[in-house]
Copies of this chain bind each other. A is one copy, B any other.
Amino acid sequence: MTDPRLAELSRLLPGLRLLAEPGDLEHYGRDWTRRWTPAPLAIALPTCADEVQAIVRWANARHVAIVPSGGRTGLSGGAVAACGELVLSLERMNRVLEFNPVDRTLTVQPGVTLHAVHEAARSHGLIYPVDFAARGSCSIGGTIATNAGGIRVIRYGNTREWVGGLKVVAGNGELLDLNRGLIKNSSGYDFRQLLIGSEGTLGIVVEATLKLTDPPPSSQVMLLALPDMEALMRVFALFRAQLTLQAFEFFTDHALRHVLAHGAQRAIDGDHPYYVVTEFDAADAGDQEAALAAFEHALEQGWVSDGVIAQSGAQAAALWRLREGITESLAPRRPYKNDVSVRISAVPAFLHDMQALLAHEYPQIEVVWFGHIGDGNLHINVLRPEGMAEEAFIAQCDHVTRLLAETLQRHGGSISAEHGIGLVKRAYLESTRSPAEIALMQGVRGVFDPNGILNPGKLFAAAGTPRAC
């Protein structure tokens, strides 16, 4: 702690854990992106909201940039500290504070993992329905900062709909207690909603009151093989009309190949270009008959080539692994990722243009894509060929991303469906948000964080703020 600013912070908060060893700087300075070299000033690990507030006030006084840090599973560089920032890790604020059975809410600290929230809800006979593959590592604060979506959005919506109250330390150092779990509260601007998805640029979540709900009825999981893209939207429309869908996820044969090589078990024989994993309510025999009838209709129409319905929980998990294991199976290749969305009705036309673009721009490069078709959300993973230098690869991918952003703009889509903008996509923000909107965003940021100390350089370039890169 030779930096005099850190010495001062230690004097202010004698109980605060501060780390500055090289290994710590590297560990806490990056997220699941690997594009930047971690270079934080130090790591602060507060244990309560008061300490967070004191750190933010100190940072304002000393013009030190802060990177709020959760599970660092983000894919857009939102938690990267590469420019001498203080990483403010919430990992020691990891307690479930209260379950309220009447309000059916769970109040938690921000460092609790999504998995721990699921477990706590389940122990009270309820569920917290936001879910995705990083559940064991991501922090609930991070899911709020990015308005995380995931695999159940089609049924339950995004994180935004499940946050009843937020305690936040704003960039100006004020502790805000937003909405306090009220169901109805029409008393001016809903800053709770503004903070959700703001990627740590307006405030730091220090406590969240999450809404819980009843578990869904028993469900069934089905894997479908499809002959072509046209079939995909037809099957989706059919299944949505006939069943109560909890998830409707698709992936390509490329994706399947990777996940099988990574240890998953093949569930349908033969070569098929597209697959769908779907989960739907199956409370009684009627629901199960409806599912079978929908499947048989799709088969007769030639929209599906084959299908499997899970006969046990283990088999359901095995089918899900085919979809959920994709990201992990690709991780060693450190793919370049796009995470895009359009309205569901725009999916066919967008897919047509997107496929043409990718085929043209990546002739020698493997592209794996999959996604949440029921939300209009596609994940594109571009794999660097062995002989290609990383810098050249990223330059080419950035070029294609710019073309992809133009395609999205034509189709009214978004360059970031659920990962956030962070560092990775800030150059493309104008494809999704107009200059007028971006100017208003910067204005609002200036209101909450007048000195620009919170996550500078994330979301948009931080002109005039300290320590932005």
Name the segment of A180-188, A219-227, A289-297 touching the other chain: A180-188
Interface of A is mostly: loop
CB of B197 within 8 A of CB of A190, answer: yes
Q: Which of A103, A188, A344 has the most CB of B within 10 A?
A: A188
Q: Which of A177, A425, A429, A460 has the most CB of B within 10 A?
A: A177
Give, as a whole number of angstroms, the nearest-CB distance from A167 to chain B.
Answer: 12
Q: Contacts of A376 on B, CB cut-off 8 Å?
A: 182-184
Q: Contacts of A425 on B, CB cut-off 8 Å?
A: 187
CB of A420 within 8 A of CB of B186, answer: yes
Count chain A residues whose beta carbon lies closer than 8 angstroms to a beta carbon of B: 73
A94 in contact (CB, < 8 A):
no
In the complex, per-residue mask of A406-440: 1 if CB is within 8 Å of any chain B CB, else 0: 00000011111111110001000100111011101
Known: A146-B186, A414-B185. A176 touches B420 (CB 8 A): no
In the complex, per-residue mask of A174-215: 1 if CB is within 8 Å of any chain B CB, else 0: 111110111111111111011011110010000000000000
CB of B160 within 8 A of CB of A416, answer: no
A237 in contact (CB, < 8 A):
yes
CB of A441 within 8 A of CB of B189, answer: yes
CB of A184 within 8 A of CB of B161, answer: no
Q: Contacts of A170 on B, CB cut-off 8 Å?
A: 436, 440
A263 in contact (CB, < 8 A):
no
A-B CB contact pairs (8 Å), 23 listed? A100-B343, A102-B345, A149-B186, A158-B183, A176-B440, A177-B434, A182-B341, A183-B341, A183-B343, A183-B375, A184-B376, A184-B414, A185-B432, A186-B421, A188-B199, A189-B441, A190-B193, A190-B197, A191-B437, A191-B440, A440-B448, A443-B448, A444-B447
| Interface pairs A-B: 8 shortest CB-CB | A443-B447, A193-B193, A102-B345, A174-B436, A184-B417, A185-B414, A183-B375, A187-B432
